Amino acid sequence: MDFQWESAGSIILAVILCSGICVDLSTMGLVGGVFQLGDLASLMKRQLNKLQNFYRSVLKIINDFSSGRFYRPWGSKQVTVVVSSKRHIMELSEASELSQRAVYADMFGFKHTMNNLDHNDHKVQRSRLYGRLLQVNGPVQLAQLYPRIEARLESVFLAQLKLGRQTNGWTSVPLAATIRKVASQMMGVIFFGDNVSRDPVFAAALLQYPADMVASMAAFQLTPNFLSPYVHALVTKRGRAMHTLLDYITPIVSRDPKKWDESQMIKELTIAGKMMELTEGNEYWTPDISAQALLGIWFAASHQPWMNLDFNLLELCARPEYVELLREEIGDPSRLNYAQLQDLPILDSFIKETVRMNPLDTLAIRRKALKPFNFSNGGPQVVPGNIACVSSFNLMHDEISYPNAYRFDGLRFVPTKKDNSMRGTRLTDVSEKFPVWGFGSLACPGRFHASLVMKMVLAHLVSNYDFCFEDQKARRQFRWETFTMPYEKTRVLLRPRAS
């Protein structure tokens, strides 16, 4: 069930070729016309040449894609407007003419990947619910769920280690696949509790669904819109993971206690349980709508932590001096709880610096213009259909905010007396200088959940294992469009620390 970019490339190639053939046939004019045999032969020869050229260009794209080159595989007609001042970033975040949902509906094809989601439906009501659900109530629930999340982390990680290969007293594991599985299982407890998240079919679907979303995103950009339903069906095996999740989640949110095998105490601490509590008596939130909403929250919450964890572990392998600093700060890991984990400034700073130096997307706070919009004080204009955003890379490499911005400093954010406007800021802080979480009222409400999963995994590994690269020269990342992705074949070596 693990997602492989290389195999996805093969699927996308097949889809593109099919779409190219369809386009060629539609331009041949064979329907309703009368042709001489020579004319038909000439036409077929021209179309064959076009198809051969098309095939060669697609092979180049797939080769670039699989080799991790940074490129723009399609000639987008959208104009991207980038703003940088705090005032313009606030306008970008809050303007009603600029839509966050429309950007991602286009990018990920919500109509197909989220069971016919209408991104314009009750968007204010949904945003308010998500904020209350994740940001207001989230930290309290996480503190109480901590022991169960920790138990899941330990059991799943041990299971993943057993799948690794033994080499000279070390265990070799594929980093991306291992961390993705661990993070998904931890998030499963946060969302749905202990019992259902252990179900192997449900757990596999939770793991596969975000990968299906990303694969669909890539395929949608390379094929004509009219083929989107067929592309989605091919890439996701007819939406198998999505429909499996809906089959499990819809009964859970139906408010029938017999359909959710979990203690009442745990239900009240989960995202699904809290969602039912907050929507009680609201006719809009039917079981189908609630299940659809949970699909969206799951994707938003599950795809980012594991990738940032991957990059954090790569940095620790490359910079072992920080491992000792973290071990000293953590102390006895068996005594950690939620509050103590949040009070580890070196761990918080190291993760934040890794995120700053390895942004998953070089652009952030993306918005699509639904109506013409002019930024204030002579700022740029955005016409309908175009995109406005910020450059997260540039903002997080500004020498004023981040002295020696291109040098990794895992202690950069640890509070000291040094004069630095970003020193002392925390991983989950929202700032125009650190736009990873967005900005303004639509800043990511799930950042506390993501932060907790990252800190728990790193604290567990640093405290209990020695680890290093299996191959110092192996590839570790690849770039596609504006995104940086973990390389699936990177392997690390682990062994339990000596007592």
DSSP H or E segment with residue 231: helix 228-235
Question: What residues of the chain score a pLDDT lower than 50?
Answer: 1-35, 65-75, 121-122
Confidence (pLDDT) at 305: 94
DSSP per-residue string spanning 296-342: HHHHHHHHHHHHHHHHHHHHHHH-THHHHHHHHHH--GGG--HHHHH
Confidence (pLDDT) at 499: 65
Are the C-beta atoms of 32 and 244 separated by less than 8 Å? no
Please work out, in degrees rounded to the nearest 5, the angle formed at the alpha carbon of residue 384 by the alpha carbons of 383 and 385.
115
Q: pLDDT tens digit string along 58-78? A: 666 565 544 443 334 444 556
The 10 Å CB-count burial string (b at 16+, else e) for 414-428 is: beeeeeeebbebebb
Please work out, in degrees rounded to the nearest 5, the angle formed at the alpha carbon of residue 455 by the alpha carbons of 450 and 459.
155
Confidence (pLDDT) at 192: 95
Q: Is 169 left (phi over 0), alpha (psi -120 to 50) or beta?
A: left
Are the C-beta atoms of 277 and 423 separated by less than 8 Å? no
Q: pLDDT tens digit string along 132-160? A: 888 766 788 999 999 999 999 999 999 99
- Lookup: tokens for 373: 């919009």
Confidence (pLDDT) at 75: 43
Confidence (pLDDT) at 19: 46
Q: Which residue has the tokens 């910079």?
A: 319
Radius of gyration of the chain from Cα atoms? 24
Confidence (pLDDT) at 44: 75
Confidence (pLDDT) at 25: 42
Confidence (pLDDT) at 67: 43
Q: pLDDT tens digit string along 342-386? A: 999 999 999 999 999 999 999 999 999 999 999 999 999 999 999
Residue 119, beta-bridge partner list: none
Give CA–CA dist 295/209, Å, rounded: 9
Quote the pTM value.
0.83
